[in-house]
Chains A and B, each alone.
Chain A
Amino acid sequence: MLAKRIIACLDVRDGRVVKGRRFLGLRDAGDPVERALAYRDDGIDEIVVLDVSATLESRLANRRTIEAIARALDVPLTVGGGVREIDDVARLLDAGADKVSINSAALARPQLLSDAASRFGSQCVVISIDARRDANGYAIASHSASRPYARDPFDWARQAQTLGAGEVLLTSIDRDGSREGFDLDLVRGVSAAVSLPVVASGGASTPESFASVLQAGADAALGASIFHDGDARASDVKRACRARGLTVRP
């Protein structure tokens, strides 16, 4: 039976883990390799590393940071930040990533998803979607949530699937760093729109909040601040999931 995944996200900038709220006000949260290994020891199922200033600075995610994490880690590693072309995907894989997450560049040029999938396989291509509530429902944004698009995340997720993406990393901009719980409506909507695995991100508050979003249809749930601040460990989250009858890796 496929287990639901608990993922820790390391937002990195200048070789350090940082975390803000609603993508703003970044503060230091430690050394990326130390954090990744500590979370691995706590039973985390996967690590996501996002270089949060890469796209804004028009560069690819920091190779040295990725290599250091990848060399030490023995659970899956997804990397995102500043991917603009197919060779960037190759570069991140070569730095040790197992999956590569693409956000802004896929919105600008959706063909990038199909090019990446036909070379590396869909299982390696993650479409990262940042969305916030608006008067009409939900709308997406790119460039670390700084550029709004008049487009809903459900339609974009469907198109990304058709193009060849193999997983959706879905972040609620409103809930990012808020500790208010995941946006369950957003996750339900995207899970229903696609047949890809969906990773829910933004708003992790308690171990039970992970269980709730997994029950709402997410295949994996991702936390950052909750783990960085030591308010819960992966083992606590898994205990809460088991108590609700969810299958998680021992």
Chain B
Amino acid sequence: MRPCVGIVALGAANRRSIESALERAGAATRFVSEPVAVGPCDALVIPGVAHFGFVAGELDRGELRPALLAACAAGVPILGICVGYQLLFECSEEAPQAQGLGIFSGTVRRLRTPRVPHMGWNSIEPLADSSAIGRGWAYFANAFAPDPDVPNAIATTSDGIDRFASAAQAGTVSGVQFHPERSGAYGAQLLERFVRSAATAYVG
């Protein structure tokens, strides 16, 4: 049976794009917009394409924050994408009053580069001690990102001037600053790995 991946619907994402990509990667999908919908999911994706302040507000409006933290504590695989990745950190310069989930320590800051947003394909460079992510090219569309030396970083990317953490992982929770749903074969492999982890999350 296909593992069920819940796409956390925070009102503003390119969720159809994620839905199609997860289905291509072998998952059954459902949209999750209330806490009770979190339980039946084998894994969760927090998608991107939104303002940090807006999605942080949506988390609280839908009372999803405690449900996501509980899923994290229970070892449910969670993948954050773009703003969904940033939401895994403590806070962001994009909306200084808003609170992230704080699963990863560190904050998200504006890119210090002449042309922002950082828009297009760039290379993912895994950190030396990490086998959690492969080298490759992925599609980005971001004006903000975490520092390259945040504790959970597993890969970094540079736009030629500013380097940032393009992927992070802690236990079963991972996040990527790029868009795997729109990153060709490289992104598809990452999502297939994630869907496989959902299928085996409770085994052993």
Residue positions of A touching B, CB distance < 8 A: 1-5, 40, 45-46, 67, 70-77, 90, 93-99, 117-124, 166-167, 195-197, 219-220, 249-250
Contacts and interface: CB of A to CB of B under 8 A. Distances in A.
Contact of B188 (A74, A120, A124): A74
Contacts of A117: 51
22 contacts: A2-B118, A70-B16, A71-B20, A72-B20, A73-B182, A75-B183, A76-B179, A93-B14, A93-B15, A97-B14, A97-B17, A98-B14, A98-B49, A119-B54, A121-B50, A123-B49, A124-B50, A166-B119, A195-B116, A196-B115, A196-B117, A197-B115
Interface of B: 12-17, 20-21, 24, 49-52, 54, 83, 114-123, 137, 139-143, 158-160, 179, 181-185, 187-188
B184 A75 contact: yes
B17 A96 contact: yes
B40 to A, nearest CB: 23
A117 B52 CA distance: 11
B158 A166 contact: no
A95 B16 contact: yes
A73 B188 CA distance: 11
Nearest to A99: B141
Nearest to B123: A1
A249 B121 contact: yes
Contacts, number: 129
B12 A1 contact: no
A4 B119 CA distance: 10
A118 B54 contact: yes
Contact of B121 (A5, A71, A72, A166): A5
A126 to B, nearest CB: 10
A120 B188 CA distance: 24
Nearest to A7: B120
B139 A75 contact: yes
B15 to A, nearest CB: 7
Given A90-B12, A97-B14, 8 more contacts: A3-B121, A40-B184, A74-B183, A94-B16, A95-B16, A99-B141, A195-B114, A220-B120
B12 A120 contact: yes
Question: Which of A4, A67, A74 is the most central at the interface, judged by chain B CB atoms within 10 Å of its CB?
Answer: A74
Given A70-B16, A90-B12, A196-B115, A5 B51 contact: no
Nearest to B137: A249
B143 A166 contact: yes
A72 B142 CA distance: 24
A196 B116 CA distance: 6
Contacts of B142: 123
A67 B15 CA distance: 12
A96 B137 CA distance: 22
